[in-house]
Structure 1
Amino acid sequence: MSQLGTLEDLPIGFRQGLTATNLVPLWPNLRGALPHGIPTRRTRPLLWRYSEIRPQLMEAGRLTPIEKAERRVLVLANPGLGLENMQATPSIYIGMQLILPGETAPNHKHSPSAVRFVVEGAGGFTVVEGERCPMEPGDLILTPSGLWHEHGHTGSEPVVWMDALDLPLVFALEASYCTEGEPQNIRNEPDASQTRYRRSGLVPWSGWMRPPTNYPLVRFPWRDVKAALADLASVTPRGEAVRLAYVNPETGRECLPILGFSAVQLRPGESLALPRHSASAVMNIVDGAGVAEIDGVQLQFEQFDTIAVPTHARVRIENSSSTKPAHLFVVDDAPMQRKLGFYEILANEALPPI
């Protein structure tokens, strides 16, 4: 491997001339941009404890009315990327959003795509392009780029959900913006998860005959996902992942262009090495408790905690209960990497149990 020249090797006059004409020599910076073997990573393996987030979120609810916040969110910021940049990973924004009884988060649309993964509470709802989606714990609701959406609350207790957006990427492209709108007219019918897309492998006949729509299903109820995971667990050999991907029911492709979503069940006492791949990820603990080991960093997790996973990381997760399963919801940027042509599943050396 050749030794690259440094900036100090160059005469000061030459360097000043480059600076004056807005030029930079590549070779002294080449290994920073193209390191050998593995990318340079600033993202830290990190755990945000819900037991620490929740009191501060409730205090935010007391201090800031919804009219002053528009969206009352505490952002989960990875210190390796700079707290001010509001990134959980380089491409994934994560926030915990609170809505209180009787509040409305006003109607808007924006260029980043977002999802809502409900953490706790009852009575909340999201309206997406006139479709009213109930928000029950564990439900996934899509609010894709350019689609009108608003939130409301008709219940009696706080509702909290996790927001996941591709905001860091869209912002970096100088393409992030929002448009406000009038409250939507809500269609007087159940959302499509309860009517049009109730069974896998079956779609409305008219939908089959027309070109597939981008976002035919915007709500994925947790009760259905959890039941499907239990069925899959019953036929999956020990040591293999019990994992389901959320997909567009008309195409079988990812739900959104940049971010992908999946659900994992850890059977009682199970320790599982996840595939090592080039995507970054965030894991939210739906229920249960255990340990995650990410590139040698051990993180003890409990229900509702959130974990950041850097690109190329070696990951093992373990369910600490010998009697109950644990469930995780995973967000990653694999769809974006696949479209850009550099997604990889990497060799994963045998990882010992935690």
Structure 2
Amino acid sequence: MDPLDLVSSLGHAESLGRLEDLPPEYLKAINDLSVAPLWPQLRGLLPRHKPARNTQPFMWRYAEVRPHLLRAGELTPIEKAERRVLVLCNPGHGLERLVATPTIYVGLQLILPGELAPTHRHTPTAVRFVIEGSGAYTTVNGEKCPMEKGDLILTPALNWHEHGHEGSGPVVWMDALDLPMVYAMEASYAIEGPSQRSRPDLDASQNKYRRAGLLPYASLGQVQRPQYPQIRFPWTDVREALGLLASVTPADEAVQLAYVNPETGQPCLPTLGFSAQLLRAGQDFRPRKRSASSVIHVIEGRGESVIDGTLLQWGEGDTLALPTHAEVIHRATGEHAYLFHVDDAPMQRALGFYEDF
């Protein structure tokens, strides 16, 4: 017997009781005790076979958002903003939720020459992915990291960090945080601190882990490895590695690299996963459906994606939101394209329900 037929024969399919079926005095009595019946709402909490989703396949065009971000630099000095950010809000969740997907917050942050975004730390985990400009830096626990286009910089939970700009012209980066989850847990807060004194070993962590397969010799004897040994992942290195990977990857397979902890090989942060992908020109790529939601940022190139039947045509700087369990096709048009992915797969794996199929 088909499993669905079995469920129907047992009377557990769709014939659940409704609130309207209960006597009003009964409902009032339990509601007055802050108690509610589960069964009228069970299908909403546990829908059959596929989760209910508010997240819409959506794209934010950088060319459209950028002028408003620069205007924010004119309207609001850094002293009044602390972090000058425009948040990418998925229409399926509305402007008030401030989320790109249910678990991923994404914002575009602007810093201008001479500005300093003050030191703080907070419970949400964050990363910075540089979109444009040069001369800015992020200091994390005293390690000063240059910020160049395509660089990924980690600011893990409760790590002190500040941003500054010693160059010319605007610098813009994408912030990605697990803020929605931490906020929902009523655990989100920040603490301000004094400006950091940078250590003399500029960009130390990525220099220690310059090449895959090679670790600082002293690491071999460590009983407890550093939690976040590498803070900055330079795009120049990642792009080169993608090119080399493409040369040995069959045409029908993904050319994609995960950002990982170089000491353990595990995801570099506990709640969000990050990867970079080279899309070969003119070739459709159909990833497996995943239980994870994700956000994709276009580093270089042009192309289009079909997400649950919605066609989104993208170019450099654009950002896309992908719901959970989405059917996806990506294709680059013209030259190769390079994409940066953020997903909540590490969070789902830790909770024991991550799937791809």
Shorter-chain TM-score range: over 0.9
Alignment partner, residue 71 of structure 1: 83
Paired AA for residue 346 in structure 2: P
Counterpart in the other structure of 1:234: 247
The Cα offsets for residues 81-140 of structure 1, whole Å up to 9 and x where unpaired, read as 121110000000000000000000000100000000000000010000110100000000
**1:188 is aligned to 2:238:** no
Deviation at 1:195, TM superposition (A): 2.3
Please point out which of 191, 200, 211 is paired with 1:199.
211
- Fraction of identical pairs, as percent: 59
Partner of 2:3: none
| Structure 1 residues 256-289: Cα deviation after superposition (integer angstroms, max 9, x where no partner) | 1100000010112121011211000000000111
CA shift, 1:194, in A, is 4.6
| 1:351 alignment partner in structure 2 | none
The amino acid across from 2:333 in the alignment is S
Alignment deviations for residues 124-183 of structure 1 (CA, whole Å, 9 cap, x no partner): 100001101000000000000011000000111100000000000000000000000001
Deviations 1:23-43 (A, max 9, x none): 111111000000001000000
Distance between the aligned counterparts of 2:94 and 2:220, measured in 1?
Answer: 46
Residue 26, structure 1, aligned to residue 26, structure 2? no
Q: 2:300 aligned with 1:274, yes or no?
A: no
The equivalent residue for 1:116 is 128
**Residue 311 (structure 1) aligns with:** 324
Counterparts of 1:85-100 in structure 2, within 5 Å, are: 85-100=97-112
Partner of 2:68: 56
Q: Which residue of 2 aligns with 1:37?
A: 49
**Residue 296, structure 1, aligned to residue 309, structure 2:** yes
TM-score, L = length of structure 1: 0.96
Do the aligned partners of 1:258 and 1:333 also contact (CA within 8 Å) in 2? yes
Q: Which of 4, 18, 38 is equivalent to 1:6?
A: 18
Residue of structure 2 in register with 1:349 after alignment: none
Write the distance in 1 (CA, Å) between the matches of 2:37 and 2:165: 56
Residue in 1 aligned with 2:5? Answer: none
Question: Any stretches of 5+ residues in structure 1 without a counterpart?
Answer: 347-354
C-alpha separation between the residues in 1 aligned to 2:117 and 2:349?
34
Given residue 72 of structure 2, which amino acid in structure 1 is its aligned partner?
A
Question: In structure 1, the residue corresponding to 2:67 is in which secondary structure?
Answer: helix
Do the aligned partners of 1:193 and 1:221 also contact (CA within 8 Å) in 2? no
Q: Which residue of 2 aligns with 1:246?
A: 259
- Decide which moves more: 81-90 or 66-75: 81-90
Q: 1:334 aligns with which of 345, 349, 357?
A: 345
What is the TM-score normalised by the length of structure 2?
0.95
SS in 2 for 1:105: strand
Match of 2:226 among 196, 210, 213: 213
- Per the TM alignment, residue 190 of structure 1 is displaced from its structure 2 partner at its CA by 2.6
CA contact (8 A) 1:113 1:145 kept: yes
Q: Name which of 277, 294, 311 aligns with 1:264.
A: 277
Shift of 1:208: 2.2
Q: Shift of the alpha carbon at 1:80? A: 0.8
Q: Aligned letter for 2:129?
A: F
Amino acid at match of 2:138: T
Q: Structure 1 runs of 4+ off > 2 angstroms?
A: 192-195
Amino acid at match of 1:53: V
Structure 2 segments unaligned to the other structure (5+ residues)? 1-7
Distance 1:92 1:192 in 2: 29
8 Å contact from structure 2 (residues 281, 331) kept in 1: no
Distance, in Å, in 2 between the alignment partners of 1:342 and 1:303 is 34
CA distance in 2, matches of 1:208, 1:215: 16
The 1-side partners of 2:346 and 2:204 are apart by 24
CA deviations on 1:193-232 (whole Å, 9 max, x unpaired) are 5521111111111122112111000000000000000001
Correspondence for 2:159 among 144, 147, 152: 147
* Structure 2: distance between partners of 1:344 and 1:237: 24
Q: For residue 188 of structure 1, what is the amino acid of its counterpart?
A: P
2:355 is matched with: 344
Q: CA RMSD in A?
A: 0.8
For the Cα contact (< 8 Å) 1:272–1:316, is it kept in 2?
yes
CA contact (8 A) 1:208 1:250 kept: no
Which amino acid is 1:142 matched to?
L
